[in-house]
Amino acid sequence: MNILDLDLCLKIEKKAMNSSSSSWVDSLDLNASSTKSLQLETTVSHPNTSNSLIVFGRKLSVKEESGTLMEELNRVNAENKKLTEMLKAMCESYNALQSQLVDLMNKNTEKELSPTKKRKSETSNNNNGNIIGNSESSSTDEEESCKKPREEIIKAKISRAYVRTELSDTSLVVKDGYQWRKYGQKVTRDNPCPRAYFKCSFAPSCPVKKKVQRSVDDQSVLVATYEGEHNHLPPSQIEATSGSSRLGSVPVGSTPVKSSGPTITLDLTNSIKSSDEARNSKPKLDSPEATQYLVEHMASSLTKDPNFTAALAAAISGRMFSTNSN
DNA sequence: CGCGTTTGACCTGCGC
DNA sequence: GCGCAGGTCAAACGCG
């Protein structure tokens, strides 16, 4: 929350209401320690006399005028102080809410990731009961992680998508807009349904792998686990930008909606690895980077949104009016 | 014939 | 060190 923004808005708000109120000051400085910018609308300097002022047609002595000024100054200072306190309280509430949001999202992320035991994390992840996709990730260097396969698994960007399919559909295919090549299938201990292993076959150098397995709890739900980051754009985007027809037969698109039933899916495969990709795609919705991005974006949007600041200014000025009328 | 899938064997890491 | 389980490889197979 930017105090300067609020100050500016208050000034604008005040000017808009000038016609209906004559007791306002031209400039409202929210910094309680400073009264430099304070100007009183009701005082007008007389061009001929330096020691006296004409207020509402009545000539006042310097003593009377200074008394009036001091009174006005004290009143405005009191208002200023109240405003500052209100703003401070609002900022505290905002920060508390924001930290609460971040904590909540971090807890969800930690729940997903057990950092020491890969296999155990798999087991616990399968039982979290979430239908909407979730993921965990950490910033990593792909080249470094290639040297240490185990660390790669831990550090690699891992995301998860849940897709509802027909029970009769045994294909274990999750259409997410990318091109996959199946390289293995295994029946795991904790799940009687086989797990299929896929590699991204669109780009030979693409390190992304995908595991697809039916959920233990609900076998109509396919759990797709993505590991790593694509070092290329989705085929759908490349096709759209280049106009190439080579991929015409590839089922593309991030919304694999089946006509026979409801399908819930998330395209979690957008990469934020390179700046070029970051420009072309949004960060993953459920990664910590995305969380941070989301929080910052929300805060930025709120402070930059003229509607929000105007509403805030209106609320504060309304409060001030009620204070003045008392 | 080329490409993708299947499937059993092999490799690797972890727990006991 | 051994056994177990997950992950990967690669030859065999099927399809267009």
Nucleotide nearest to A116 (CA to C1'): B14
- Residue-wise pLDDT for A27-65, tens only, equals 333 333 333 333 333 333 333 333 434 344 444 466 677
Residue that the structure tokens 């006509």 belong to: A259
- Which of A86-90, A243-247, A304-308 shows the lowest per-residue confidence on average (mean pLDDT)? A243-247
Pairing status of strand A58-60 against strand A135-136 = unpaired
The band of A307, judged by pLDDT with boundaries at 50, 70 and 90, is low
Q: Assign domain A158-233 to its CATH architecture.
A: Single Sheet (2.20)
pLDDT at A63: 66
| B11 C1' to A69 CA distance, Å | 88
Q: A81-90, A120-129, A228-237, A279-288 — which one is most confidently predicted on average?
A: A81-90
Mean pLDDT of chain A: 55
- Residue-wise pLDDT for A165-184, tens only, equals 776 666 677 777 788 888 88
The band of A7, judged by pLDDT with boundaries at 50, 70 and 90, is very low
Enumerate residues near strand B (beta carbon within 7 A).
A 116-120, 149-150, 180-186, 196, 201
pLDDT at A229: 77
Nucleotide nearest to A154 (CA to C1'): B13
What global pTM score does this model have? 0.41
- Residue-wise pLDDT for A208-247, tens only, equals 888 888 887 777 788 888 887 777 776 666 555 554 443 3
